[in-house]
Chain A
Amino acid sequence: MSRLEANGLTLRRGGRAIVQDVSLRMQSGMFLGLIGANGAGKSSLLAMLAGLLRPDAGQVAIDGQDVAGLSLRQRALARGYLPQNPRAEWPVSVERLVVLGLTPQLPAFGGLPAGLQQQVARVLDQFDMAGRAQQSVTTLSGGELARTMLARALVGDPPILLADEPLAGLDPHHAIDGIGRLRAFADQGRLVIAALHELTMVARHATHVAVLDQGRLIAFGTTQDVMKADILRQAFQVDACVTGAGTPTAMVDFVALARRTDG
């Protein structure tokens, strides 16, 4: 059972508040969809929750422990983090890339212990990449790369996963596949927090939703409670029609008000 708490998180850049006074309480089993217009502060909030960005005010606590007091390795063991559009800088094999996700678990010297080797094989299999284990990551399609990166983030079996737009650039088939895996991961008793733009996907798969508008948290609760027309109108400047939020057949349809979303 893991808890992640944010208390009064504020981040300022160039005199402007990017994130302002955001407090959240999350725990295992939740799949939190973090939504908001472009520039609402989703990425900054995720980075602060991951302990990668130091807030100007407020604090983040994992299981009651201040993240600032944890070592980098302890943070790495406590949560997985997947940034926006993750890329591989060298043409290494899929398997080696996934193994990098075990960096905090590895002993200081020597190779990969047998137990971890099995973990890698299992996660490759789970993400349908076992057949491509030896292929260079630079030759993968976008969907395959996204799956590989997700496998990389999950191979260490972190109790908390933070993912920044994990579905960006994926076709509908792969997007559905990806968000399904995130939900399944949450159902296994982990906490998953993902910044997402695909509102219908959020309405169908997320258990909880947090909405950011210009750095402020304007709504946080179960999908059913939050995915409502008035909240979406405030956050995205759209006229939205939401049906069946929190069910597998949910739909979110919208037309622009003054400003259109890039969704």
Chain B
Amino acid sequence: MVKRLILPVVAVLVLLACCLLSLLVGRVWIDPAVLADGLTTPRTDLAWLILFELRVPRTVLALLVGGSLGLSGAVLQGLLRNPLADPGLLGVTAGASLGAVIAIYFGLSASVALVTPVLGIIGAVLAAALTLAIGRNGTLTMILAGAAVSGLMGAGLSLALNFAPSPYAAYEITSWLLGSLADRGWDQVLLALPFMLAGWACLIATMRDLDALTLGEVQAESLGVNLGRTRLLALAGTALAVGSATAVCGSIGFIGLMAPHLVRPFVGHEPRRVLLPAAFVGALLLLVADIAARLIPSSLELKLGVLTSLAGTPFFFWLVLRLRRMAPS
């Protein structure tokens, strides 16, 4: 019993340590003692402003976004029983990006600040719905539909870039697409949170069905699993969680792919046991990546999405090699 507790306790301690580090790291060095003092006595001084208006929301957002990515990655891998599944694979990320870019392109974000995230979620939902509608017959068709929808959304993004109202807008769109948590605040947290919570509820509701899918679709169905409902929940949940995440901080790849793989050696392969740990590890991964993005010295801050891609690609190669080695058996 004690042994079973060690791992979760260590994980939580690591997460707490990273949260603390995230509050300490920034372009301005603030004495930890001053920060601690700022924590206990709210007042409008520099430490308080930087801590509560910048670093705390940034940390919270990293946890929420990373958690959403990890959770939806785990659900999609369970649903498709494909270890390469990832929100990006089903076109959800591209759809969210397109929605947000349309908001920027048509200047809707200027009139109402919250239009960008809302359109991002709408884009994600539409992309997910399209993937679901075309690929509802099975796993392979769904992956293919996801690729097609990703392509379509990518074409839309290119079109938006092509007709960007000014080169500066085009530059902004491209740099926004790289993904970042810099200078985000409570506005973004409050906006994304309700959608994320709704998305998490949908994703967690698939838990039992995903377990049954371990036996394949036919047996799962024979055990009373409504596969149509499961697919709908998984895609709607991914669209809500990842759509809102993408809309507030751009597209961030590989977290959804990596997190489930990193937890399986510790919790086993049952989808039910993978889900929450994957969300936890996704949050931790993104937080660490964001701290690294802040720590790596550069005149322009290294974009978070670029960093996760740089770190994620070797992992992807390793995964493909491992799958190839396992394939003949």
Residue contact B226 to A89, C-beta cutoff 8 Å: no
Which stretch in A16-24, A30-38, A100-108, A123-131 binds the other chain?
Answer: A100-108
> How many residues from B make CB contacts under 8 Å with A?
20
| A84 nearest CB neighbor, chain B only | B218
Interface string of B216-246 (1 = CB under 8 A from A): 1011011111100000000000000000000
Distance, CA A81 to CA B220, complexed state (A):
10
Residue contact B81 to A89, C-beta cutoff 8 Å: yes
- Which listed residue, B208, B216, B224, touches A86 by the CB 8 Å rule? B216
Residue contact A83 to B223, C-beta cutoff 8 Å: no
Size bracket, chain A contacts = 20 to 34
Tell me whether A88 is interfacial, beta carbon within 8 Å: yes
Tell me whether B115 is interfacial, beta carbon within 8 Å: no
Quote the shortest CB–CB distance from A197 to chain B (angstroms). 20
Residue contact A103 to B225, C-beta cutoff 8 Å: yes
Residue contact A100 to B223, C-beta cutoff 8 Å: yes
Quote the shortest CB–CB distance from A133 to chain B (angstroms). 14
Among the interface residues B81, B208, B222, which one has the most CB atoms of the partner chain A within 10 A?
A: B222
Tell me whether B109 is interfacial, beta carbon within 8 Å: no
Residue contact B215 to A72, C-beta cutoff 8 Å: no
B216: A residues at CB distance < 8 A? 83, 86-87, 89
Tell me whether A174 is interfacial, beta carbon within 8 Å: no
- Which listed residue, A52, A75, A83, A91, touches B269 by the CB 8 Å rule? A91
Residue contact B221 to A90, C-beta cutoff 8 Å: no
| B209 nearest CB neighbor, chain A only | A103
Tell me whether B172 is interfacial, beta carbon within 8 Å: no
Distance, CA A246 to CA B136, complexed state (A):
46
Quote the shortest CB–CB distance from A156 to chain B (angstroms). 9
Tell me whether B270 is interfacial, beta carbon within 8 Å: yes
Known: A103-B208, A106-B208. A76 touches B224 (CB 8 A): yes
Residue contact B81 to A90, C-beta cutoff 8 Å: yes
B226: A residues at CB distance < 8 A? 72
- Which listed residue, B81, B215, B218, B270, touches A52 by the CB 8 Å rule? B218
Quote the shortest CB–CB distance from B271 to chain A (angstroms). 7
| A101 nearest CB neighbor, chain B only | B223
Tell me whether A97 is interfacial, beta carbon within 8 Å: yes
A83: B residues at CB distance < 8 A? 216, 218-219, 222
| A99 nearest CB neighbor, chain B only | B211
Quote the shortest CB–CB distance from A71 to chain B (angstroms). 8
Tell me whether A152 is interfacial, beta carbon within 8 Å: yes
| A77 nearest CB neighbor, chain B only | B224
| A104 nearest CB neighbor, chain B only | B224
Tell me whether A96 is interfacial, beta carbon within 8 Å: yes
> Which B residues are closer than 8 A to A by beta carbons?
81, 208, 211-216, 218-219, 221-226, 268-271
